[in-house]
Amino acid sequence: MTGDNSFLMNLSSVIGGIKFDACIWNAAGAWCTTFEELKDLADSEAGAVLSKSCTLEAREGNPHPKYYQNKWGTINSNGLENLGYKKYIEFASQLKKISKKPYLISFSGIKSEENFVMLKDLSVAKDVDMLEFNPGSPNTIGKPIVGYDFEAMDGLLARAKSMGKKPWGVKLPPYFDIVHFDQIAKILNNHQPDYVCSINSLGNSLIIDPEKEQVVIKPKGGLGGVGGAYTKPTGLANIYALRKRLNEDIKLVGVGGVMSGMDAFEYILAGADAVQTASALMMEGPSCFARIKKELSEVMERKGYRKISDFKGKLKEIE
């Protein structure tokens, strides 16, 4: 390929009636806590700007060190460190002056009822295009991952839908059993979010520094959420399994080990409409979006595809 042919490829995606000029943006949690970080995303080639998963009040999160990376990925136990949901609403108008790309706010109440206090304001917030409900971070000390409590999820999504005045999505933890795919898909099909984001980090994982003979992060005795290449096979499996079970009009956003354009290609092939990245963003900074877009365009050109719908969800099985 000579020169940059990415402009010839249609990398756009439409979710909840909103067009994303590029089908890749940041995952909630990576490079999106402060206004300066969000501005970096707005100035980059990311297809959207997604806020940190926010809570009712500002949180300092867990004690340091709470983040670690190596060549395979990352582990963190940030503990929902954020500025409080009202700050992310305030940022919306400022970000729109910088870029017209979609601005999404992720929210995750420490207590169940906090989600709906936030949602009341978020659903009518000016210049906020879409919401991403993150029910249960794996890295909050003493709090369970709500996504594994299907009865609670059913109730939460029912209330969220009833209050919704904007397009919305829900971020899921990774599932590992076929029956769990069946159960969560039934709930999601009943409540019809505009999109499903899968997967959150692999919670309560452990990375060891063998030279120091110790864990690499402090919170939870060293346990945290793992991202990066460690998570890609699980993320792909969740997207693939969910696409088979969800109503066609529920879009899928794949996340987990999107480090390259080929990774993005595989997620879309498995059924994703768009992808998010966290570990690549933390390792490389917002320049990663231009690189991944270019690499995805090169893969598409080599295979003769001009838009992502040419190959989306067309993963072949062995007969």
Report d(CA 259, CA 263) in Å as an integer.
Answer: 6
Tell me which residue has tokens 């059924």: 271
In this prediction, residue 56 carries a pLDDT of 97
Domain boundaries defined on the chain: 6-303
Residues 193, 198, 201, 205, CA torsion sign: positive
DSSP one-letter code for 74:
E
Q: List the one residue out of 290, 265, 268 whose CA is nearest residue 280.
A: 290
For residue 199, whether the previous peptide bond is cis, meaning omega lies within 30 degrees of 0, is yes
Structural domain 6-303, CATH architecture? Alpha-Beta Barrel (3.20)
pLDDT tens by residue, the chain, 319 residues: 334 554 569 999 999 999 999 999 999 999 999 999 999 999 999 999 999 999 999 999 999 999 999 999 999 999 999 999 999 999 999 999 999 999 999 999 999 999 999 999 999 999 999 999 998 777 777 778 899 999 999 999 999 999 988 999 999 999 999 999 999 999 999 999 999 999 999 999 999 999 999 999 999 999 999 999 999 999 999 999 999 999 999 999 999 999 999 999 999 999 999 999 999 999 999 999 999 999 999 999 999 999 999 999 999 999 9
What are the helix (H) ranges across the chain?
35-43, 85-98, 112-122, 150-163, 178-191, 232-245, 261-270, 279-284, 288-303
CA dihedral 248, 21, 8, 257 (to 10 degrees): -70
DSSP one-letter code for 311:
T
In this prediction, residue 141 carries a pLDDT of 72
